[in-house]
Structure 1
Amino acid sequence: MNIQKYHFLQICVTVYAVCISQLATMGDTQLELAGLTVTPHIQSSFMRYRRAPDPPLGARVELFLQNKGQAPLTVGHDFKALFDGQHAEKWLTSGSWAWHDTPSARTNQTISLAPEALMVWSFNSRDASWGSGTHHQLLLSSADPSVIDLHLDESTTWLSSVTFMGQEDSVQPNRIIAHIANESEWIVTPRACRLWLPVRNSDYRVLQPLDWQTNLVSFPSDGGIPSGEKGGFMMESDPLPLTYCAIEVEILSQKGAVCSLWAHLRIKREVFDIGGGWVADRLGDKNSLQAEPFLKTLRRMHVNSGMHQDVPGYTDTHLFDQYPLKFMNRL
């Protein structure tokens, strides 16, 4: 993956991806709905509420809009965008939406969307009128009656999580792990993946496509994710910038259909500690941290911290360099 020319400014969030491609013509500029993700709100049956919860459930929606025209498109606070004939603020004040991240919410920001570049809009609805399974229209130009149909259908295959991993000595990740949930009737296989990244830090809302990557290390190993199961892949990359990105995963179903799954997130290397508790204790006439088999066991369990202080025979020897455990006894 060649990203050296990019300089830039990321979840784990479950997304339902809808594969869709429609055009809205705006003079000489065309915006294509390259992707749509719908994350339905749910209420756990295990939760107990102080008062009866509101039964209608909304959804979090992300629109991946691509400029398919020949000229850059200027998108500012006054950019014309009507959802079912209303400005986004109307749905906010009426209580149908909880929040939105569309151009009208960005009062001090204007972007220039280059040809083939992508921008992401999102909103979070409060009730079933904009929930999963509903259909709406997005009008992007008052001078042109063309609209984009928004089918907020719950997908049967989606990116359930995307994680960025890397080396301990670098804050920039160089490995992507994507998990895919398959609730369709068919086996699905991830075929390729590409990132959409900004060219400059200041233009983090304008995402340019990188090359498709097919060097996927899949799980299960044969690549196919059975119906009702979860799977995914790992992909190596050059060190990635710490910025916002879109990730597009192309999948092939057993019946021959090709579709893209989408997610919009911030790139950051996932770092976490696993504590072993009171790992230092007497072991005969020595300390447990002086026993290399014990240290190897902790390493195999991915334990990298413990409730201990300086332990002569461990912290002052090669054992600490080879099997380091972070000090968590005192702050």
Structure 2
Amino acid sequence: MIWSLCCASSGLLVAGRVWAGELAGVTVTPHQVQPTLKYRRPHEGTMGARVQLFVRGPAQEPRLAGESPREWLDRREWTWQDISLQPAIPAGALGVWSFNGQDQRWGVGRSFPLQAEGLPEVPVTLAEPQCWITAVTFLASQGTRPDRLLVHVVNHAGDRLALKSLQLWLPRSGESSHTFWPGPRHDLETVVPAGEPGYIDLQVAPLPLGYAVLELRTDRETLWAQVRVRPEAFDISGGWIFDSKTPWKGDRPGQSPFLDILAHLHVNTAHYEKAGGYSDDPDLVKRYPLKRFHRLWPLEEWDTEEWLPTIHAVEFLGEPQYGGGRPVPPQEVLEKLLPYRPSRLATTVTHSEERIWRFYAGLSDYPHFDAYRVVAPAADAWRQYNRWGGRQISWGAPLETIGDLCRSLRELNRPAPTAVWSQGPHHDWGGGFFGGGRKRRSPTPDELRAQAQHALASRITSLYWFNLSPRSLAMFPDLWEPMTLVGREIQMLEPFYLTGAATHFERRPDSQGAPDWELSVISAPSGAVLFALDTAYTADPSENVFRFGEPRPARFQFPLPDWLRHPKRVVRVDAGGVHPVEWKPVAEGVEVDDQASRDRMYLVVQDERELAGVEARRQQALAREAEYPLNREAFEGVVTSGRRE
């Protein structure tokens, strides 16, 4: 078929007929799996893609390759779709028709005709993207309505990419949350070099919370993204902290030794909706404010100006990929989240099995996963990792696979932010994991920190410790200090995590090809956080724990994006402060010489005033720790008292 397309004053002229609607753009997010992860069963099927069709109205009742969206879902060629759940797109508005292909039939390189009432028949090709929006962050200088927008772009093409303008499409108040109308447009003069990342950093009028579409026009193509507008903050959760079987409150009104510990650990969030003894105690809530994530239903109770600042996200579906032994189909997950779409509350889903979680990509606003690398249930097959000199172990998996899981979830759900449940102390892991002789039922301090650092290096924007119940904390007090240091460092570097994007990852083996270091870069407008994570640890055959060696000479080269290639300073950063380090500029980044083991974080800045900000935030973290001191004796007295508050 020969297509004849041209513009007409009242619409699109195709083969002599004027059509009012049009397919404005297509975003393809290819499926992927991590080859480093080992499973008892292979990955299912071939690689499909998550597809978003951005359509200008009027348009309705689409058919793709001659079939309705519901028919493709019923035939199990798609894992989920929201097209049949969308209202008709009116003239002048924009709609987004989304689906997730099951396998290669709907993967990169395939094409299909799109038909809909109001549209001409259009051939759609699912091309491998060369440029895309990789991260979108909204920040609020005050209140809950964001007034700063950061958009990070990847240009994998062979030519430079000139960013011309950014148009926001927003829903109208009182109308469908997924019918978008033209909003503010910002002209740009940004050039992204070939093969490089780039970013846009805009001050905007306060934006309403809800969904939006970004239309980023360039000199080659238009990039599109549908996003949830929510003010980003790096929250640290303690999980299900209110253990009903263990007393936690204590005798002193308005104070709790248990909540003192959580505050000292920089925990500001928990998995609860209303917790008796806490939520109904104004003095405790004032002294220990905790954001919540839970079902948060009915909406009219929680979607209010009063409660919005106290909400992290909606989460109530458990682990749908496990589902208690019966996985919950992705479409069912989508339909359970649908009532929250018109609200101002972001949704999150717990992913648990990388082998199949591509089928659930794109379902929630703020996806996260739980996977732990020692003495815990796991979806991957730990004895299949050829990592320990031919020895098979059942009590642990490579700690660095946390990073693999984070990168997988991030890329499948881009440009949405992601979070992670990170392994902390837990009183209830055991069973068959001790068949290999491991006695410790939670991570060691080094194992805990390593898992958190691999997640942070991937650029998560919240971390949830599993699980800081009173019993868990009482059983493993040697983990309090490592969690405190991780929390302090997050506070110190939070602006770089939130405004940045992951721009580099590299596995660096030693001269014999064995694991040695992993290097990662998170690049923000004002600087970059560089991670060197030690992968030369060993599995101790006597105590069955992972052990790191003594510091060794190390030379690291970190590629930096174009705007950071001439830094003023490079420093080492940890919970103890900012430290000088030997460094020099190299062709596309910086080189650092150090004595290192376990992990190192370095900070690259263009303006040395950024370092003063890092130290100021460290002092704020230390002040919080002093305000909420660790009182082990008082805490253990409450836990063992037998009271039921």
Class of the TM-score when normalised by the shorter of the 2 chains: 0.5 to 0.7
Structure 1 residues 263 and 311, CA gap change in structure 2 (3 angstroms): closer
Aligned with residue 137 of structure 1, among 96, 110, 113 = 113
Question: Which residue matches 1:163?
Answer: 137
Cα distance in 1 between the residues matched to 2:611 and 2:225: 37
* 1:150-205, Cα deviation, whole Å (9 max, x unpaired): 111112111111111121x3111011101110110101121211100112143222
* 1:102-148, Cα deviation, whole Å (9 max, x unpaired): 0x235xxx45x44321011100011000111100011114xx99412
Cα distance in 2 between the residues matched to 1:59 and 1:234: 29
Question: Which residue matches 2:32?
Answer: 42
Cα distance in 1 between the residues matched to 2:105 and 2:78: 10
Question: Which residue matches 1:178?
Answer: 151
Alignment check: 8 A CA contact 2:19 2:119 kept? no
Cα distance in 1 between the residues matched to 2:172 and 2:180: 7
* 1:231-282, Cα deviation, whole Å (9 max, x unpaired): 1110111000001110011112xxxxx4211000110110115858267xxx
Alignment check: 8 A CA contact 2:137 2:151 kept? yes
Question: Which residue matches 1:231?
Answer: 198
Identity %: 29
Cα distance in 2 between the residues matched to 1:189 and 1:178: 14
- Opposite residue 67 of structure 2, the aligned amino acid is Q
Question: Which residue matches 2:121?
Answer: 147
Residue 56 of structure 2 corresponds to residue 66 of structure 1: yes
User: Is the strand fraction higher in 1 or 2?
Assistant: 1
Structure 1 residues 247 and 146, CA gap change in structure 2 (3 angstroms): closer
Residue 69 of structure 2 corresponds to residue 95 of structure 1: no
Structure 1 residues 41 and 311, CA gap change in structure 2 (3 angstroms): closer
Correspondences of 1:236-247 after superposition (within 5 Å): 236-247=203-214
Aligned with residue 85 of structure 2, among 105, 126, 146 = 105
Structure 1 residues 201 and 45, CA gap change in structure 2 (3 angstroms): farther
Residue 484 of structure 2 corresponds to residue 277 of structure 1: yes
* 1:197-227, Cα deviation, whole Å (9 max, x unpaired): 112143222111124212x5x8xxxx32222
Structure 1 residues 211 and 239, CA gap change in structure 2 (3 angstroms): closer
Aligned with residue 126 of structure 1, among 99, 102, 105 = 102
* 1:272-312, Cα deviation, whole Å (9 max, x unpaired): 15858267xxxxxxxxxxxxx9xx97951555546725279
Cα distance in 1 between the residues matched to 2:199 and 2:156: 14
Cα distance in 2 between the residues matched to 1:52 and 1:297: 47
Cα distance in 2 between the residues matched to 1:24 and 1:165: 42
Question: Which residue matches 1:284?
Answer: none
Q: State the TM-score, normalizing by the size of structure 2.
A: 0.36
Cα distance in 2 between the residues matched to 1:162 and 1:180: 9
* 1:79-98, Cα deviation, whole Å (9 max, x unpaired): 53211111112211211100
CA RMSD of superposed structures (Å): 3.2
Alignment check: 8 A CA contact 1:23 1:33 kept? no
Question: Which residue matches 2:183?
Answer: 210
Cα distance in 1 between the residues matched to 2:90 and 2:45: 43
| Secondary structure at the counterpart of residue 213 of structure 1 | strand
Cα distance in 1 between the residues matched to 2:108 and 2:611: 47
Alignment check: 8 A CA contact 1:174 1:236 kept? yes
- Opposite residue 213 of structure 1, the aligned amino acid is H
Cα distance in 2 between the residues matched to 1:261 and 1:242: 22
Q: Which has the higher contact order (CA 8 A, sep 6+)?
A: 1
| Secondary structure at the counterpart of residue 70 of structure 2 | helix
User: Is the helix fraction higher in 1 or 2?
Assistant: 2
Alignment check: 8 A CA contact 2:167 2:214 kept? yes
Cα distance in 1 between the residues matched to 2:174 and 2:202: 24
Q: State the TM-score, normalizing by the size of structure 1.
A: 0.67
* 1:60-94, Cα deviation, whole Å (9 max, x unpaired): 00011002xxxxx4x7xxx5321111111221121
| Secondary structure at the counterpart of residue 210 of structure 1 | strand
Which runs of 5 or more structure 2 residues have no equivalent in the other structure? 1-6, 237-265, 267-482, 489-577, 579-609, 630-645
Question: Which residue matches 1:52?
Answer: 42
Cα distance in 2 between the residues matched to 1:273 and 1:101: 30
Alignment check: 8 A CA contact 1:24 1:31 kept? no
Cα distance in 1 between the residues matched to 2:13 and 2:111: 17
Correspondences of 1:287-326 after superposition (within 5 Å): 299-300=613-614, 302-303=617-618, 305=621, 308-310=625-627
Structure 1 residues 90 and 24, CA gap change in structure 2 (3 angstroms): farther
Alignment check: 8 A CA contact 2:20 2:119 kept? no
Cα distance in 1 between the residues matched to 2:218 and 2:119: 33
Structure 1 residues 129 and 189, CA gap change in structure 2 (3 angstroms): same
Count of residue pairs brought into register by the alignment: 250
- Opposite residue 47 of structure 1, the aligned amino acid is L
Structure 1 residues 114 and 94, CA gap change in structure 2 (3 angstroms): closer
Cα distance in 2 between the residues matched to 1:192 and 1:51: 47
Alignment check: 8 A CA contact 1:24 1:148 kept? no
Structure 1 residues 145 and 248, CA gap change in structure 2 (3 angstroms): closer
Cα distance in 2 between the residues matched to 1:240 and 1:140: 32
Question: Which residue matches 1:115?
Answer: 91
| Secondary structure at the counterpart of residue 308 of structure 1 | helix
Aligned with residue 192 of structure 1, among 161, 165, 180 = 165
Question: Which residue matches 1:316?
Answer: none
Alignment check: 8 A CA contact 1:190 1:232 kept? no
